[in-house]
Structure 1
Amino acid sequence: MRFAAPRDPVMVADWVSFNVIDVEKQDWARGWASLKKFTERELHARVPYGHKEGPYPLGQWVAEQRRAYGAGQMTGVRARRLEKLGMVWSLADERFQENLEAAKAYYDEHWALCAPRSATMLDRPVGQWLSNLRRPGALADHPEWETALKAVDENWNPEWPAEWQRNYAAVREMTAEESVLVYVEPGVTVHGMDIGRWTAKQRQPTVWRALTDGQRERLVQLGITPLPPALAPETLAAPSTAAVSAFEKGVAALVQYKARTGSVTVPRGHVERLEDGSEVKLGVFLSNTKTRRAKLTVDKLAALAGLGLEWAAA
């Protein structure tokens, strides 16, 4: 009768440990490789729980990594490797990042994150989401979220009403090029907002005095200043004489340009110098006048059409 040789318990423990750890390492490496493939294709690491990368249950694996990280059972090396792939540890953070992408898309189109509550973007209620985050204390536990929002729009949560910021942002974009401000007359609308009338209202002495220092500073940077009291009553009733004069100068510049070149096709960056020494950004004038042609009077359209601008005659 033969007896099995006694086994060294230390050796057995080492053998079991090596094989178990090796298998676990292999599985983790397989999950990491699958996640890397997913992120390279989708450009993010937000894997749905039920998603499989080929036959591999990647969504479940990612959920397990979040659990291990939250329980303090993950090494720093693994955590860093996952973070380099864009891993989001918190589900709340994941939802924030998804909504942030929608907010960025909204900003690209509207130039501000002060969206009305009804606003949607990328099939997400971005307006209500931003409104919720503006509530006092909403970001107390997530300062990194506020940093991310400010990186998109420094004034996403202004001290003044969000509606004011929306109008200001629209005027700011309209006046990004020099000399355009004079064409922002009552009736000029952007995204449904009458920014011409809004601008005229800000210039009223009583309204101007009610603004905060920050609001007045922003308006002055755009060249918007308060009207002298004597001019205030008639401002909202009709376009200013400065706007009419600017149109007439634009037409005079076009007449001069056409006489010299025989064409009314003007490069956008072209500046025409008139006989009185003044300069007109003729390309900008024509581009912006065409944009707001629906707001031009019959006389103005006729003057432009008479010079050969087909869009004015249409």
Structure 2
Amino acid sequence: MVDWTALPLDTVYEGEQLGRWVQAQRAGRPGLEEDQRDLLTAIGIDEDPELVAAKAAAEAKPKVSRTDRFAPGLAALAQFAEREGHVRVPRPHREPLATVEAGPGGEDQVVVHQVALGAFMNNAKARRAKLTPGQLAQLAEQGVEWA
């Protein structure tokens, strides 16, 4: 019988990502139907409690809405525009953006995030049809011509 726990994650067999598939089965086993679990057991693929816990933790994280993801990009753009005097952001540019967040003891602390501003601008332009009128107006206020 094969020791599936020793299979490297990047194993590919006949063009299929076998290593990733095995890991997904071991992590998602509790969510499978009984007959699917029986088939995995028959070929020796068992549940991995650590992978199951990691998957559950990842799924428990709150989803960030498109609107919430827009705000840091807009703040970084405003900072960039104020400093540079224009909004022609190079594609690879990352803008350091300081925010105040609650620390582990509840006290406020300043955290600096690197916002991929060039990617944000590129994606916003490519997906401008999906932006709200308010978001387009905010971009236009910063001097973005296509908004």
Q: Distance in 1 between matches of 2:89 and 2:121?
A: 8
Does the C-alpha gap of structure 1 residues 295 and 210 become closer, same or farther in structure 2, counting only changes over 3 Å?
A: farther
Q: Distance in 2 between matches of 1:210 and 1:301?
A: 43
Does the C-alpha gap of structure 1 residues 308 and 228 become closer, same or farther in structure 2, counting only changes over 3 Å?
A: same
Instruction: Tell me the residue number matched to 2:114.
Output: 279
Q: Distance in 2 between matches of 1:246 and 1:255?
A: 15
Identity %: 40
Unaligned runs of 5+ in 2: 1-13, 22-27, 41-56, 100-111
Are 1:209 and 2:31 matched, yes or no?
A: yes
Instruction: Tell me the residue number matched to 1:300.
Output: 135
Deviation at 1:282, TM superposition (A): 0.2
Residue 241 (structure 1) aligned to one of 64, 68, 87: 64
Question: 1:69-94 deviations in whole A, cap 9, x for unaligned?
Answer: xxxxxxxxxxxxxxxxxxxxxxxxxx
Deviation at 1:307, TM superposition (A): 1.0
Instruction: Tell me the residue number matched to 2:125.
Output: 290
Instruction: Tell me the residue number matched to 2:60.
Output: 228
Question: 1:88-109 deviations in whole A, cap 9, x for unaligned?
Answer: xxxxxxxxxxxxxxxxxxxxxx
Instruction: Tell me the residue number matched to 1:311.
Output: 146
Q: Distance in 2 between matches of 1:227 and 1:307?
A: 36
TM-score (norm 1): 0.25
Q: Distance in 2 between matches of 1:249 and 1:262?
A: 19
In the TM superposition, structure 1's runs of 4+ consecutive aligned residues that sit over 4 Å from their partners are 210-213
Does the C-alpha gap of structure 1 residues 227 and 250 become closer, same or farther in structure 2, counting only changes over 3 Å?
A: same
Instruction: Tell me the residue number matched to 1:252.
Output: 75
- What is the letter of the counterpart of residue 145 of structure 2? E
Does the C-alpha gap of structure 1 residues 241 and 258 become closer, same or farther in structure 2, counting only changes over 3 Å?
A: same
Report how many aligned residue pairs link the two structures. 91
Residue 91 (structure 2) aligned to one of 258, 268, 272: 268
TM-score (norm 2): 0.51
SS of residue matched to 1:274: strand
Does the C-alpha gap of structure 1 residues 155 and 301 become closer, same or farther in structure 2, counting only changes over 3 Å?
A: farther
- What is the letter of the counterpart of residue 228 of structure 1? A
Question: 1:125-158 deviations in whole A, cap 9, x for unaligned?
Answer: xxxxxxxxxxxxxxxxxxxxxxxxx6xxx349xx
Question: 1:107-128 deviations in whole A, cap 9, x for unaligned?
Answer: xxxxxxxxxxxxxxxxxxxxxx
Deviation at 1:245, TM superposition (A): 2.5
Does the C-alpha gap of structure 1 residues 210 and 226 become closer, same or farther in structure 2, counting only changes over 3 Å?
A: farther
Equivalent positions of 1:116-127 (< 5 A) are: none
Does the C-alpha gap of structure 1 residues 227 and 267 become closer, same or farther in structure 2, counting only changes over 3 Å?
A: same
Higher fraction of helix: 1
Unaligned runs of 5+ in 1: 1-149, 161-205, 214-224, 232-239
Higher fraction of strand: 2
Q: Distance in 1 between matches of 2:58 and 2:31?
A: 9
- What is the letter of the counterpart of residue 90 of structure 2? P
Does the C-alpha gap of structure 1 residues 209 and 292 become closer, same or farther in structure 2, counting only changes over 3 Å?
A: farther
Q: Distance in 2 between matches of 1:255 and 1:306?
A: 9
Deviation at 1:243, TM superposition (A): 3.3
Deviation at 1:210, TM superposition (A): 4.3
